[in-house]
Amino acid sequence: MLSRNNVSLRGKNILGLEYFSAEEINLVLDTAKEMKNIIHRDIKKLPTLRGKSVVTLFYEPSTRTRTSFELAGKYLSADVVNITSSTSSIVKGESLRDTLLTLEDMGVDAIIMRHSAEGAAEYATKVVSPVIINAGDGAHAHPSQGLLNLFTIRQHKGKLAGLKVAIIGDIAHSRVARSDIWGMRKMGIEVHLAGPKTLLPRFLQEEPGIFVHDRVEDAIKDADVINVLRIQLERMKSGLFPSLREYARIFGLNKQRLALAKKDVLILHPGPMNKGVEISPEIAYGLNSAIQDQVQNGVAVRMALLTLTLTGGKNNEITD
Ligand code: NCD
């Protein structure tokens, strides 16, 4: 049932799900559900963001996140410009601050930013006035990925509260894991974490609703959802596990391990996948996999974020 509330994301910088309330998360998920219908239309266009300009500013590689933000903006009639570090004045040594100021001078309404430094998006909010959406800052946060994971889980399970989710793999370097943990706890999901000891963050501690396991099997047991993470070799300064083969054997999601979860367990992976390492191909493309749904839902969730931050959305209606 729809009810009115004072929840609004208008003008809000999207830095991490730690700054979201459960009501705000629900508002994004409900708006994304409406937006998803547009993606299936023959003519994918809404006038919502006509006259608004959006820049994607990516200092790290991306396929899904950048493309889905770009398409989200275009489906909503915004003017979207993409900047990557390799093809801009960043290669000439221009600082992040100057790049941001340049974009602000050009009248940009929102900057969607990915950077290898934790806190880069927050820094941007201190320097310029356009809405800043964090599309990944180092190992800190990736809020739109956390939201699309919640959306995908709700789509398949019909609810969020009370579910058991296992997050397995390279937790230490994963901004997806951090955004998942924040978002899932706010929505009443029980989170079970497991991975090699060297890939579990040192500060990670059990607290109500968060459980840390030594063995992947213990995290997966009776899980409703398993979110598999990629080994982020690019963020490791030295070898943190013996070999990829060894990792696959002890921590990879295979058929035997999958059998420990609930029969209708949902498999998530943010992509890109290292198939045969953290996940076997038969599971990645198997019946329980929602990995393709995640990609499509990513466009819908990003359409919702752009609409809500740049226009405030439709009368701030949210679902109870
Ligand atoms: C993730 C990222 O960049 O943090 N990917 C994504 O956004 N789809 C996870 C990853 O790179 O492993």
What's the CA gap between 218 and 6, in Å, rounded? 41
61 and 127 fall within a common domain: yes
Q: Which residues pair with 56 in a beta bridge?
A: 82, 112
| Ligand 1 geometric centre to CA of 271 (Å) | 6
What is the average per-residue pLDDT within 121-149? 98
Residue 128 has pLDDT above 90, yes or no: yes
| Ligand 1 geometric centre to CA of 320 (Å) | 31
Would residue 58 count as lying in a domain?
yes
What's the CA gap between 144 and 134, in Å, rounded? 8
| Ligand 1 geometric centre to CA of 5 (Å) | 33
End-to-end CA distance of the chain: 6
3-state secondary structure (DSSP) of residue 239: coil
Answer yes or no: is 242 a known binding residue.
no
241 and 155 fall within a common domain: yes
At residue 314, the pLDDT reads: 56
What is the average per-residue pLDDT within 228-234? 86
192 and 152 fall within a common domain: yes
**Confidence at 238, pLDDT banded by 50, 70, 90:** low
At residue 237, the pLDDT reads: 64
110 and 172 fall within a common domain: no
At residue 129, the pLDDT reads: 98
Answer yes or no: is 33 a known binding residue.
no
What's the CA gap between 226 and 261, in Å, rounded? 8
174 and 285 fall within a common domain: yes
At residue 264, the pLDDT reads: 98
Q: Which two tokens stand for residue 132?
A: 């800043």
What is the average per-residue pLDDT within 176-199? 95
Would residue 10 count as lying in a domain?
no
Residue carrying the six token digits 């003519």: 43
* Average pLDDT score over the chain: 92
Atom of ligand 1 nearest to the CA of 232: 12
Would residue 4 count as lying in a domain?
no
What is the average per-residue pLDDT within 162-178? 95
Specify the amino acid at residue 196: P
3-state secondary structure (DSSP) of residue 246: helix
**Confidence at 94, pLDDT banded by 50, 70, 90:** confident
179 and 223 fall within a common domain: yes
102 and 211 fall within a common domain: no
Would residue 154 count as lying in a domain?
yes
Residue 211 has pLDDT above 90, yes or no: yes
At residue 190, the pLDDT reads: 98
Would residue 32 count as lying in a domain?
yes
Q: Which of 105, 216, 96 is nearest to 166 (CA)?
A: 216
Residue 4 has pLDDT above 50, yes or no: no
72 and 26 fall within a common domain: yes
Q: What is the dihedral of CA 29, 30, 34, 37, to 10 degrees?
A: 50
Domain that holds residue 244: 143-292
Higher per-residue pLDDT: 15 or 4: 15
Q: Indicate the DSSP class of residue 207.
A: B
For a substitution probing ligand 1, which of 63, 65, 294 has the most ligand atoms within 8 Å of its CB? 65
Would residue 159 count as lying in a domain?
yes
Would residue 12 count as lying in a domain?
no
pLDDT in tens, 299-312: 999 999 999 999 98
At residue 320, the pLDDT reads: 35
- For the annotated catalytic residues, the residue numbers are 64-65, 92, 114, 142
Count: domains in the chain: 2
Would residue 93 count as lying in a domain?
yes
At residue 91, the pLDDT reads: 82
149 and 103 fall within a common domain: no
Atom of ligand 1 nearest to the CA of 135: 7
What's the CA gap between 110 and 200, in Å, rounded? 34
201 and 177 fall within a common domain: yes
161 and 135 fall within a common domain: no
Residue 3 has pLDDT above 50, yes or no: no
Residue 315 has pLDDT above 50, yes or no: no
- CATH number at 272 reads 3.40.50.1370
What is the average per-residue pLDDT within 274-284? 95
pLDDT in tens, 55-93: 999 999 999 999 999 999 999 999 999 999 887 888 888
232 and 207 fall within a common domain: yes
